[in-house]
Structures are given as C-alpha cells and as structure tokens.
Chain A
Amino acid sequence: MEAVVSIVTFRDIFQYEAGKKGRYTPEYQDLSAQIILDKQDMAKLGLKDGGKVLVENDVGSIIVAAKASEDDPHPGLAFMTNSPWSNHLVRDDVCDTSIPGFKSIAAKVSPSGEDITKIGDLLERMKA
C-alpha cells in the first residue's frame, strides 16, 4: 500500500526555534521528521494521525510521522519543513540554474512499523 506524492518544503517558526535549541534535540526531530498528507491520501493508506511512514525515492529513504493536513484538500501533494530529513530526499541533478528541486520532491509513501529516523543516522549516511 503506497502513495506517490510530490513533497513541497515550507518554513515553520516552531521548527526553526527547535533547530536553534539544537539539531539533536527531540523537539527538532518531532517538528522535522514529519510529513503532512492530505486526509484522503492518509485514508487510502490506512493511516492514523501520527502514524509512521516510510518515505523513499532514488535518493534515499526516511521514516517519519504522518500528520493529517488541515488545509484545503491537496491529494498527491505533501508538505515537510525544510530539514536534513527532507533534504535526504532531494535530488542534486539540476537544470541550468542549478537549483535542486527543494519544493518538488517526488517520493513514495507507505505505512511503516519502524522507528523514526534519527538525525544521527542521517549524518552517518552522509559520512559513509
């Protein structure tokens, strides 16, 4: 059971604040390792608010918490705050202006029973 989404990243003041406390804080993880999905998409995946999901594409894969969107319906569109989690899925092959697709991340979302990816793991993958 999976859904194909396009992820758009956005700015959230509370996530920024948590990042200022420290990249390794639980608050930063809570507000960053999150994907906001359209309610219909969540229902199709059989997800409850806060349920864990695997988000993956050619670049990488992460486990984050799925949150039900409170916005007007946006099936196929997902939202994440700008963070090492979202950037773990951003492609670096770019067009002429050399700007990666930070706001158009194609990925597959499916329910998962695994633990949410920690920022330490993401750093280890960068160093590997």
Chain B
Amino acid sequence: MLVVTCPGCSLLCEDIELVLKTGAISQAKNLCRKGYGHFQSMFTERTEPTIDGQKVSMDEAIVSAAEILKGAKRPLLYGWSNSTLEAQKVGIELARKLNATIDDTSSFCQGILMERVLKGRVPTCALDDVRNFADTSVFWGADPSNSHPRILSRFAYYPRGEKRQKSYEEERTCIAVDVRRSATAKLCPNYYFRVPPGGDAEFIGALMAVLEGKIPKFGDKKRMIELGTVLRKTEYGVIFPGLGLIYSLQEKMGLLEALVARLNEIATFKVVPMVGHYNMRGFNQLLLDETGFINRVAFSDGKATHGPENSVIEASKSCDAALVIGSDPLSALPFKTAQRLAKVPLIAIDPRRSLTTDAAKVVIPSAMYGLEAGGSAIRMDGVKIEFEAMMESDLMSDEQILARIKEAI
C-alpha cells in the first residue's frame, strides 16, 4: 500500500492510499471522484514520441523540438500549471534562453486575483488556518463540490478545528454566492445568494452599503442585510473566489480588495483563490520572484517585459512556434486561439492524448506526477507540498525533458 499525494487539483491531498497491481489500481482510499479519475487515467491513452504523427524515439522528438524552438523568432511557451516547481524553473530558464514569451493558465484564470494575493495586497491564509479558525466560509462564484470536492470536508465547513470543535453544526457557516443553485449552494440553502451574471460589482456595492448601516440599492434588501449581519458576527472569515467572480469583476478586482479591507475593520477576513491546476500558484510565485510578474512575460536579451500582448490569447496571433506543456489549450481556449495554435509548429509535452497532442507536430510523452515522477508544488494556499515517485518508470519527467531540450539548443 502506497501513501501518495494527489495532483488532481490544487488541494494536493496527501492522505491517499493506493494499492496497485499491474496495469491498474486495485484499491484506492480517500481519493474523491476527481482524484480517482486522475489516477485511473495513468493507464489509458498514454502518449508516445511522434513527429507528424509518426512514431520516433525520445531523442529524435527532443532534438526536433529543440530545432523548432531554436529556429523560431517568436516562440511561445505555454502550460506550466500541471508541472512541478523544478520543471517550471527549467521552463523559465528555457524561455530566457530562447527570448520567448512565456505564459500559464493563470492568464485567463485566477491571475488577476493571484497577483494581488502574491504581492500582499489582499490578505490570505493557509487552509489549515481555515480549518482551525474560520467560522465563516464564503464560496463566491465557485462550486467546490464539483471543482475541489474535499475542500469542505478537509478545511472549510465540516471538519473540527482548534477554535471550531463544534464545526458545521454550531460554529461554522458556509455561504454560497453564485448565478446558479450549485451543488455547494444546496448544502447551505439558507445562505445561498443568487447574483445575476456580471452583477457581482453591484452585489459588492450593496454589501458595502449594508456594512455602513445603509439600505442596499441592489438585490433582495432583507437578505443583503442578513448577509451583512452574518459577516459582522464573524470572527475569522474566509472568501474563496472562483472563476465566476474573477470573470465577473476582471479589471474591477479592486472592488473585492476594497470589500476585504472594509471587512477587516470588523474582524479577520482572508482570501484564498480557488486555483484549479495543482501548481498554478507555484508558477506564478516562481515567475514573480524571477521577473516581478506572475505571467505574460516576454524575454528579450535577458530582460523581461509584461503585458496583455504576451498572454497566450494575444501571443498566439503572432507566435511562429509553440511549446505546450501539461495543458490542452485546444480544448480549453476560445476557438480562434485554438485554430491559431493548431496552425503553428506545436510541441506538446503530455503524459496523455488530448486535442492538443492530436494537432501537435511533435509529441513528447512525460511521466505522470505523483506516481511516476516526484517534485514539489505550491498548494492553492501557498503551502509547499513535496511528493515522490511511487514507482519505477522509463518515462522522463517534465523537468528532465525540458533540461534535455535546453541542452540541445
């Protein structure tokens, strides 16, 4: 029986017990449906090294990748959030060496909020603090039951903690703010606040008014006042913004900052972004330490510049080669962006088949982290988690592949 860490989402649960047999999982304990699906995927649709759909050796694929990148004038290196810190570090070095543009999934995900968190503009805490101290958890534009299934049972609502021994029955409140009655909202029906899409700015405005003791001009007045009361009675509140809130506020993220600052005049309030991929935060932190920016960086003779033109969406319009690592942008990005990426010479580094590997010129198979390769990652709350390879594998890790490509350039 192996005790493993699950890289299925950014909770990075470390209490997973696996019994493996040849070619399958014999028994798995404590993995949620999402994590179980992730581990099961180790056994199907694995990639092989190919160039233009023809099977080649790893060496040939790596050399071909290096040639494509070396010969490109505006290479784009994208993905990163499903790689370890060690791999991401090599990736950033590679981008520097190539004078490439480097961007990760945070660019169209949690980036706007993560920047504020990493730069200290928004107070944050560890998930263990949530479990030990939080008496109010607010899931805003997020449905953790479907995206981070164990966050409620491990940290935010159901477990006992140092100051919350009576837990959800008496000492914790869970609030869901969403455009739909999600599975999570159904768990706290009395504290489900429905917001129209794009209405979060007004919702925040109404809440600010309530906190001033004024009558809100938006939403159900009685319920907004109720919400204000709950927040006023809170000792340690945690807001978990999901993509629903991020996409709604976008450049108006300052409104959330202001709300959190106001709430901190009443009690302790923290923000933990609902990061999806297991090491998105790790990449943002590394790139921030290296360049002062969390994403969307273009290197030129060692200097790093930042801007929307370096986002994968924009850069796809002008790049002449792309390296995609641990990500499937052809499935996840807008159609026209996917079209553009499908047309340039694409190098895909991935353990499994995806739309992106199907369109790639060069496919390089990689080891699956948590099982076939080890490393470290930063959990959604900033805690560093380390995990080891659980088995022998002939497959190279992202870190090793990138190092070989860098060497070959």
Cβ B197 vs Cβ A77 within 8 A: yes
Cβ A126 vs Cβ B250 within 8 A: no
Set of chain A residues within 8 Å of B38, measured between Cβ atoms: 20
Set of chain B residues within 8 Å of A108, measured between Cβ atoms: none
Cβ B243 vs Cβ A103 within 8 A: yes
Set of chain A residues within 8 Å of B302, measured between Cβ atoms: none
Residue from B198, B251, B328, B336 within 8 A of A97 (CB atoms): B251
Q: For the complex, is A23 an interface residue (Cβ under 8 Å from B)?
A: yes
How near does chain B come to A124, taking the closest CB pair, in angstroms? 10
Interface size on B, residues (CB 8 A): 55
Cβ A82 vs Cβ B353 within 8 A: no
**How many interface contacts (CB-CB < 8 Å) are there between A and B?**
142
Q: A16-B34, A97-B250, A123-B330 are in contact. Are A23 and B354 (CB under 8 A)?
A: yes
Residue from B44, B145, B251, B334 within 8 A of A100 (CB atoms): B334
Cβ A22 vs Cβ B353 within 8 A: yes
Set of chain A residues within 8 Å of B308, measured between Cβ atoms: 94, 96-98
Q: For the complex, is B149 an interface residue (Cβ under 8 Å from A)?
A: yes
Q: For the complex, is B181 an interface residue (Cβ under 8 Å from A)?
A: yes
Cβ A20 vs Cβ B40 within 8 A: yes
**Residues B11-57 near A (CB distance < 8 A):** 32-34, 36-38, 40-41, 44-45
How near does chain B come to A24, taking the closest CB pair, in angstroms? 8
Looking at chain A's contact residues, the main secondary structure is: loop
Set of chain B residues within 8 Å of A127, measured between Cβ atoms: 339, 342-343, 359
Set of chain B residues within 8 Å of A60, measured between Cβ atoms: 335
Set of chain A residues within 8 Å of B338, measured between Cβ atoms: 84, 87, 126
Q: For the complex, is B311 an interface residue (Cβ under 8 Å from A)?
A: yes
Cβ A99 vs Cβ B182 within 8 A: no
**Residues A89-128 near B (CB distance < 8 A):** 89-92, 94-104, 119, 122-123, 125-128
Cβ B146 vs Cβ A22 within 8 A: no
Complex Cα gap A128–B268 (Å)? 54
Cβ B334 vs Cβ A59 within 8 A: yes
How near does chain B come to A103, taking the closest CB pair, in angstroms? 5
How near does chain A come to B265, taking the closest CB pair, in angstroms? 28
Set of chain A residues within 8 Å of B147, measured between Cβ atoms: 11, 13
Complex Cα gap A12–B143 (Å)? 9
Cβ A87 vs Cβ B334 within 8 A: yes
User: Can you list 18 pairs linking A and B with CB atoms under 8 Å apart?
Assistant: A10-B182, A11-B147, A13-B149, A59-B336, A87-B331, A87-B335, A88-B335, A92-B313, A92-B334, A92-B336, A92-B337, A94-B308, A97-B112, A98-B107, A98-B296, A100-B313, A126-B335, A127-B359
Residues in chain A within 8 A of chain B (CB atoms): 6, 8, 10-14, 16-17, 20-23, 59-60, 71-72, 74, 77, 79, 82-84, 87-92, 94-104, 119, 122-123, 125-128
Residues in chain B within 8 A of chain A (CB atoms): 32-34, 36-38, 40-41, 44-45, 107-108, 112, 143, 145-147, 149, 179-182, 194, 197-198, 243-244, 246-248, 250-251, 296, 308, 311, 313-314, 328, 330-339, 342-343, 353-355, 358-359
Query: Could you list 8 further interchain pairs (A-B, Cβ under 8 angstroms) beyond the known A14-B33, A23-B354?
Result: A6-B197, A8-B180, A10-B146, A20-B41, A21-B40, A94-B313, A123-B359, A126-B339
